[in-house]
Structure formats: C-alpha cells, structure tokens
Amino acid sequence: MAAGCLQEKASLLLTQQQQKTGSTAKLIRKLKAAAKKKSEITRRAFLKLGNQLVDRSSPLQMLPSKILLKTQLSKLRKNLVVPADDIVTNKGYEKVVRQKDPVAVKSSTDSTVDEEISHTTSDVSGPSNDTEDLDRIIDALDGDSQLAVVEYVDDIYNFYKLGEKCGRPRKYMDFQVEIKEEMRSTLADRLIDEFHCYELIPETLYLTFYIVDQYLSREKVMETDLMLVGVGAMLIASKYEDSWPLGIEDCIDITHGAFSEEQILAKEKAILETLEWNITVPTQYVFLAYFLKAAMSDKEMEDMVFFFSELGLIPYSLITYLPSLVAASAVYAARCTLKKTPRWTEMLVEYTGYSEQQLLECARELVSLHSSATEGKLKAVYETYSDAEFGAVALAADNIGSWSNHENMVGQRS
C-alpha cells in the first residue's frame, strides 16, 4: 500500500517535471525565435550602416592630403552654392559651382566643371593650375570627415601601389592538371552571383578572387574540388571584411550540399595555411574608390565602373594585371561607354598614375567582355547590372565599334 502510494507520488512528480520541462523548452524556443528576429533586424541595421561607410555607393572614404586650411575652407564655402539638381545623392562629394556664375549650372562636361572649380579656388588661394585647384576642391568638401584620414591618404596609396606588386598570382593553368580556364570562369560567375545574392560588401568579392587565384597558383586542385576552393575563399574573405560574414550553413547552401561542414572548414584551414595567412592586400576595390573620386563620378558612372570591374574578374587572362591598372581601365572604359569628354583627364592621370595609352589594352578587353555579355553563357554580372537598381548600365551601348579609331587617335597623340 505504502509502496503504491510512493509510486503514485513519484509518477505525479515526474509528470509535473515533464510539463515543466516542456514549458521550459517551449519558452526557450520562443526566446530563440525572438532573438533570431532581433538579430536579423540588427543585421540589416548594421548592413545599412556599413553600406553607408564602406559600400561602393559611398566609396570616397579616403582622399588626397592637399587639404585647404580651415580659414580658406570657411571662406570657400561662403562663396559657393550647390544647386539641388547638382547634388549627387549618397556620395562623399558634391558638384560645386560659383554663386556668381549661374551659367555653369547648364554645363555637364568635365572640362567645364574643371574650369568652374578653377575659378572658384582662385578667389580663395590665388592663381594656380587647374589640376591643383581641382585637388583642393575635392579635398575641401570632405575636409571635416574624420573617416577621410586626410593626413595619411597619400602615404596609404603609395603603400598600396607598392603592395600590389608583391605576391601577385602567377599564371597557373600550365601548373594545374585538371583545371581549365573555362572552369575558372564558371566558378567566377557563380561566386559573383552568390556575392550579390547574400548582399556582401565589395571588399569581400575582390578579396575572394585574390584568395582563389593565389591558392590555385600554389596548389594543384582537382576539378571536383574547385567549387570547394571558391566557397572556402569566400568564407575567409567575408570573415575578414564583412560585418555580417557567411555562416557555414550558407556555404553548404552555395554548394547545394555537395560538401559537408567538415570539408568546408578543412579547406578554409588549408587555404589559409597555403597563403600563410597573408590576406591583407590592396585589391581592386581600394583603387576603384580612389579613382572614382578623381573622375567626379555620379551614380551612373559608379555603376558602370563596377560593372566593368566585375566583368574583369571572370576571365583568367586578366589575373596578372595589377589591381590599380584594372581599376583605372574600368573607369576609362566606363567613361568611353558613357561618352564622357575628355575620356581621360589630367586629374585622372595624376590620381591613377596611368596615361590613356597605358590603359588601352586592358580597357579594350573589358569593353569586349561587355560587347559579348548578351550572348555568353556566364551572365551573372550582366544580369545584375541590367537591373534598375544599378541603373541598367549593362544595357548601355558600348563603343567597341569605334574603339580601333580611338586607339589610332591616342597613338597619334602619343
């Protein structure tokens, strides 16, 4: 009798414990769901903030160090007015015209803008050449930004120019047994597509390709493992650059379950060991941000430049070009496609360090890629930049038909 009573009591306690456990588990699930939802909201908020700081829609975080003195800047701003139509949204600079010269608002050519800026700066700092005056205006507009690190930018980009020449990936197709150029291009197209799908920041994309090409320069890879190398490189790059990096589940999804978590993590480790953890390198993006500033680009120009630069990531033939050269060529190809005049300004020569003649070969390859994009099988870049979000710049008619004549003209001038 007593034993039966004890058994009944024990059963009651066990039932109560199970109910309590079930209630606790239910509560934990609710808390996890709420935390996940909050995490997603926070992620989007940080992405929005991060994009304002580092995305290509606002690439001008760094600028030359020839800044005007505070007194000159104050006087300059009093003499300037920025018409509403000329304000470039989500940019680090504005197109500036003189308050006393309204005729300048009607002009859209780069040469006229240069002239107006030159007139404006001469009112403040006396006579000087157009390039120096334009330099001063570009600097002055971002002079109050602590993110601009004005005092160090010249040194930073001089260091980038030295750094990009070290550790460049060598041509590796003769070294690889199973990997072919077409396979590498297919991988590139897939990685670019996934990059836009996960809305990663541009630095991640360009670092991913650096890692892929460096690894393939040093290690033989089987055809079946090429995608594993690509997703491992993107995982590393996103962890290094992105405020919200890819998760291992994302990587598994990218490969459609072809590789396990253990395989992806093992490849990540193998890549880092092969590269000796050296992934702090100047990629195309840092130069694109710098050169777009010198081009005084608008949203259409930016989209076109990034369209060309992403096209340039696909072919194997461009991997040995210096990142700064490809970036400058993308700016040049974009200006040609959008029929900007002049096609290459003195300011761009000064900022990029490249003459028009030096860019022709690489720029021609980029324009050719644009010309053949509609008929090619690799359409990730073309389809992305055909969207209205990017101004549908991929649909713009390129100038490949007149490129030969332009080359001849440049050759004659040289």
- Residue 94 domain flag: yes
User: Are 344 and 303 contained in the same domain?
Assistant: yes
Domain end (from 274, 303, 332): 274
Domain end (from 274, 300, 316): 274
- Residue 37 domain flag: no
Cα(374)–Cα(324) distance, rounded to whole angstroms? 27
Note the pLDDT of residue 398. Answer: 55
Note the pLDDT of residue 151. Answer: 74
- Residue 374 domain flag: yes
**Cβ(188)–Cβ(209) below 8 Å:** yes
Q: Which two tokens stand for residue 199?
A: 């809305």
Q: How far is residue 190 from each of residues 207, 254, 363, 380, measured CA to CA in Å?
A: 15, 9, 23, 7
- Residue 50 domain flag: no
User: Are 222 and 321 contained in the same domain?
Assistant: no
Q: Does residue 287 or residue 410 have the better pLDDT?
A: 287
87, 122, 131, 73: which is closest to 101 by C-alpha? 122
User: Are 298 and 408 contained in the same domain?
Assistant: yes
User: Are 405 and 387 contained in the same domain?
Assistant: yes
339 is in which domain, residue-wise? 284-413
pTM of the model: 0.67
Note the pLDDT of residue 280. Answer: 92
Q: Which two tokens stand for residue 252?
A: 């598994």
User: Are 372 and 297 contained in the same domain?
Assistant: yes
Question: What are φ and ψ of residue 133, in 5° steps?
Answer: -65, -40
SS3 98: strand
Residue 260: pLDDT band (50, 70, 90) is: very high
Domain end (from 163, 193, 212): 163
Residue 307: pLDDT band (50, 70, 90) is: very high
| CATH code for the domain in which residue 388 is found | 1.10.472.10
Query: Mean pLDDT score of the chain, rounded to an integer?
Result: 74
- Residue 214 domain flag: yes
User: Are 405 and 288 contained in the same domain?
Assistant: yes
pLDDT digits (tens, 9 = 90+) for 26-47: 555 555 555 555 555 544 444 4
- Say how many C-beta atoms besides its own lie within 10 A of residue 225's C-beta: 17
User: Are 250 and 295 contained in the same domain?
Assistant: no
Note the pLDDT of residue 375. Answer: 84
User: Are 191 and 260 contained in the same domain?
Assistant: yes
Residues across the chain: 414
Cα(267)–Cα(281) distance, rounded to whole angstroms? 21
H-type alpha helices, 219-260: 226-241, 248-254
Indicate if the alpha-carbon torsion angle 396, 394, 111, 354 is positive or negative: negative
Q: Which two tokens stand for residue 297?
A: 């680009």
- Say how many C-beta atoms besides its own lie within 10 A of residue 270's C-beta: 15
User: Are 364 and 318 contained in the same domain?
Assistant: yes
Place of tokens 């359409």: 379
- Residue 257 domain flag: yes
Count of structural domains, the chain = 3
Query: Average pLDDT in the 339-355 region?
Result: 92
Place of tokens 């430049």: 305
**Cβ(42)–Cβ(131) below 8 Å:** no
CA atoms within 13 A on the CB side of 154: 8
Q: Which two tokens stand for residue 242?
A: 């992105």
Return the DSSP state at 99. Answer: T
pLDDT value at 330 more than 90: yes
Cα(340)–Cα(109) distance, rounded to whole angstroms? 7
SS3 80: strand
- Residue 10 domain flag: no
Q: What percent of the chain has pLDDT over 90?
A: 49
- Say how many C-beta atoms besides its own lie within 10 A of residue 206's C-beta: 27
User: Are 312 and 381 contained in the same domain?
Assistant: yes
Query: Average pLDDT in the 250-260 region?
Result: 94
- Say how many C-beta atoms besides its own lie within 10 A of residue 346's C-beta: 14
Amino acid at 36: K
User: Are 249 and 296 contained in the same domain?
Assistant: no
User: Are 195 and 216 contained in the same domain?
Assistant: yes
**Cβ(385)–Cβ(197) below 8 Å:** no
Cα(190)–Cα(211) distance, rounded to whole angstroms? 16
Flag the least confident range among 84-93, 240-249, 261-270: 84-93
- Residue 351 domain flag: yes
**Would you give the distance in Å from CA 193 to the centre of its chain?**
14
Q: What percent of the chain has pLDDT over 70?
A: 60
Counts of helices then strands in the chain (DSSP H, E):
17, 2
Those residues with Cβ within 8 angstroms of residue 402's Cβ, 6 or more apart along the chain or in another chain: none
pLDDT value at 158 more than 70: yes
